[in-house]
Structure 1
């Protein structure tokens, strides 16, 4: 569901639902509890979402739509000697600060969706991973399954990395610099080890 088509009246309620799901756990929240938390009647909530899985699917789709939009914005930026990798890393770190509950929800509760919803989310996930790998110069010489695995590995690194140093007493800029260094090394190693190094690495190595 495109973000522009979402009901603006429920934007704040959806944000509160997101926070409740992410902090308490999707499986621990019932529909009546959710409605009470949002200040709605159960009937009003059911009118917009037939089940809490529909709301979860909406929030997870929103997350991947924003990831795809982020890649699009990075791709439109003028190229410089740093290449796409550093820009992608920084964009993901910034998005994690803007949407921390989404990252937590997707990582922990995607499996709570029904089969059809999981299929739709998987389609968005694969679309994001393919675009990510294309921007990093992934080679088509690899078998499709191997190439998909490389894209998934890189996406997992980018989306899980902020938790690596979350409990360390570091200034934000220091934490970001460390994460950027670790991610750059790890992703370049993944690309090189699988033979997928393209123009991105040739530029950044200069």
Structure 2
């Protein structure tokens, strides 16, 4: 009996996850298409029916990650509480995303340079959009120059996506690690925006 669309989709996702694991553990440049095929239980020829190239697969995984990061910034329809409460929910969403997709974050940090120029340009566009939206939501009325806004957005996004990796390996209970991340980020965001505004006013 032929597989249904749902079964084929699940089969593809399963193989994609196995490919992600191999690439993340060994590194994009250390995995050949032949090794990837063997890892997935496919012949080298049939692998191309699933993934046109290693770069195509890598791009797909990194692009998906940045699209998920953008999704963490979608504000709830009705905000309850002040801006800090909403910001805490954004931090929580990033923490959860890092828990769910640690291997994709590793690939994005380490192997982005292995993509084609066109693919890197697409990822840069997504990253810039993410950082711009992040700052717009955090400080919609901040009086910053364009350069200061870009620098502040990049700094805050870097912290937001570095702290989970640092803290998740800690021996502290998870609730304490998350609370520490929230406190560090809320303080850093307030200070970053204050310092950036001071520079602009000087």
Task: Report the TM-score when normalising by structure 1.
Answer: 0.84
Which of 28, 31, 49 pairs up with 2:30? 28
Partner of 2:77: 76
Q: Does the 8 Å CA contact 1:150/1:190 hold for their aligned counterparts? A: yes
Partner of 1:126: 128
**Within 1, Cα distance between the matches of 2:168 and 2:80?**
31
Q: CA deviation at 1:164?
A: 2.0
**Within 2, Cα distance between the matches of 1:169 and 1:52?**
36
CA deviation string 1:113-142 (max 9, x = no partner): 111110011111111111111110245643
**Within 2, Cα distance between the matches of 1:83 and 1:167?**
26
CA deviation string 1:74-124 (max 9, x = no partner): 443523133432111111111111111111111111111111110011111
Residue 92 (str. 1) matches residue 79 (str. 2)? no
Q: Does the 8 Å CA contact 1:84/1:135 hold for their aligned counterparts? A: no
Higher gyration radius (CA): 2
Q: CA deviation at 1:48?
A: 3.4
Q: Does the 8 Å CA contact 2:12/2:50 hold for their aligned counterparts? A: no
RMSD over aligned Cα atoms: 1.9
Partner of 1:111: 113
**Within 2, Cα distance between the matches of 1:36 and 1:90?**
38
Partner of 1:201: none
**Within 2, Cα distance between the matches of 1:25 and 1:76?**
40
| Gap regions ≥5 residues in structure 1 | 1-6, 197-206
Instruction: Please show how residues 1-206 of structure 1 align to structure 2 within 5 Å.
Output: 8=9, 9-72=11-74, 74-76=75-77, 78-81=79-82, 82-139=84-141, 141-195=143-197
Q: Does the 8 Å CA contact 2:135/2:153 hold for their aligned counterparts? A: yes
**Within 1, Cα distance between the matches of 2:96 and 2:152?**
23
Partner of 1:4: none
CA deviation string 1:170-196 (max 9, x = no partner): 111111111111111112211221129
Which fold has the larger relative contact order, with Cα–Cα distance below 8 Å and residues 6 or more apart in sequence?
1
Q: CA deviation at 1:71?
A: 1.4
**Within 2, Cα distance between the matches of 1:79 and 1:194?**
28
Q: Does the 8 Å CA contact 2:98/2:165 hold for their aligned counterparts? A: no
Q: CA deviation at 1:156?
A: 0.7
Task: Report the TM-score when normalising by structure 2.
Answer: 0.86
Q: Does the 8 Å CA contact 1:138/1:191 hold for their aligned counterparts? A: no
